[in-house]
Structure 1
Amino acid sequence: MGLMFRKRKKYGPLILNFTENGLSSWTIKIGRWSWNSKAKAHRVDLPGPLSWKQDKSRA
Structure 2
Amino acid sequence: MSGGERHTFDCFECAIHALAPTCGTCGVRIIGHGLESDGRFFCCDHCAEKSGVHGLKDRV
Of Structure 1 and Structure 2, the greater helix share is in 2
Of Structure 1 and Structure 2, the greater strand share is in 1
TM-score (norm 1): 0.23
Q: Which has the higher contact order (CA 8 A, sep 6+)?
A: 2
